[in-house]
Chain A
């Protein structure tokens, strides 16, 4: 027996800033799509489902030319990249560019911006710190932190008719605190990290940053501090690890260390924030699922994966490296290729009742963490944080609901999740 519920849709979305692509009205999702447009943020699941039936590889001339595949089969094939038709040199469609991005196959944030064969060697340096048994050592730390956040949030709720913002007062802080711990960066620098992230992944950029505000300036300072204070082997944090490892017999280039740290900050924060927030948004509207999650511990591992499938936050991007044809469409070198893994996760050819949330779904080959060689390096960390955040939340909060569905705000761009999520709790 399974409970099934329609996956709901957000009612209101973030307004794009002025001057960018995101404000121009959409002519047609088939020929003029824009993943940074507020209408896309509001309706993305429906847009993917319609395109899959009518135009499975959509086109847009925005951002210099983009493609949007929506079938699992196509997205998996692009991720597999067996013919080398795509490069990972750039993975975010934006106006951001660092001054001294390393040339292919390395890219600005190795290994996510790296192509084979360099990719596999650069990635191997990071696999051990993110392997499941290593990551699970952080469960007590994450659990204590989630409790401390809820201590504050519930105290706030007690003074405001049971209301707090689950996105701003709870889910936002969790991945920031955990990655700061892993990297050995100050716990209070979360706002600084968010500035970097929004500059890199959100469109359009509202203003250019001063040099002292840039990620490069901040990270160079902390890398220098780590280098000046070496720690004994096995006692260091991730920055110490990157300063200590060797690739092809040499220490990593300074830009490699900096690019990788920036990757770990950017890729690990808004993504996991989105996942936890989407799960709470679902629970707030589906009390039966909340009850099963709380009462049936054996359902929880399946529920976590179903949250990841149904509310996958990340759309990756590639550049077309060689002209070729995909689903009858002419791909030209230099075109952007979006990889909407959330759309692949809703393909009815791949998943039974793909548009339904089934809390104990038994067949679930979801691609929330990507597919192929770029599988999310931090997937075990993200899964751990999502699990701990929900376990602690349902332990501390009995019932809760949205204050007003219209007051929920979803992000635009390549990372999808609630950025404002006011809820009312009943303890």
Chain B
């Protein structure tokens, strides 16, 4: 599992950073920064799904 994050769609709601700081950081302007750019370890799969399911702008998806 990997995370696809679309910076063009992100509006800085910060839901992903709040739910999963292990996967996302936030920049000085409040936009998300994907830090987990590689394969997501199994123990973080649920958190990755939470990020997808709580992004109001549909800026995050999971890819196999």
Chain A residues within CB distance 8 Å of chain B: 124, 127-128, 130-133, 301, 305, 362-367, 369, 371-373, 375, 379-380, 383
Contact = CB atoms under 8 A, between A and B. Distances in A.
B26 A369 contact: no
Contacts of A366: 56
B1 interface: no
22 contacts: A127-B28, A128-B28, A128-B30, A131-B12, A131-B27, A131-B28, A132-B17, A133-B26, A301-B18, A301-B19, A305-B15, A362-B50, A363-B53, A365-B53, A365-B58, A367-B56, A369-B13, A371-B11, A375-B13, A379-B12, A379-B13, A380-B14
B54 interface: yes
Given A128-B28, A365-B53, 8 more contacts: A127-B12, A131-B12, A132-B30, A133-B26, A301-B18, A364-B53, A371-B57, A379-B12
Interface of B: 11-15, 17-19, 26-30, 50, 53-58
Given A365-B54, A371-B57, A128 B29 contact: yes
Contacts of A301: 18-19
A234 to B, nearest CB: 14
A173 to B, nearest CB: 26
A375 B9 CA distance: 12
A383 to B, nearest CB: 8
Contacts of B11: 371-373, 375
Nearest to B17: A132
B53 A362 contact: yes
B30 A363 contact: no
Nearest to B11: A375
A280 to B, nearest CB: 22
A305 B15 CA distance: 9
Given A365-B56, A375-B13, A131 B18 contact: no
Closest 4 CB pairs of A and B: A131-B30, A127-B29, A375-B11, A363-B53
B45 to A, nearest CB: 14
Contacts of B26: 131-133
A372 B59 CA distance: 11
A130 B18 contact: no
Contacts of A132: 14, 17-18, 26, 30
A132 B17 CA distance: 9
A207 B63 CA distance: 59
Contacts of A131: 12, 26-30
Contacts of A128: 28-30
A363 B54 CA distance: 6
Nearest to A123: B29
A364 B57 CA distance: 12
A159 B54 CA distance: 45
A362 B54 CA distance: 8
A362 B49 CA distance: 10
Nearest to A131: B30
Contacts of A127: 12, 28-30
B29 A124 contact: yes
Contacts of B12: 127, 131, 375, 379
A312 to B, nearest CB: 12
Contacts of A364: 53-54
Contacts of B55: 365
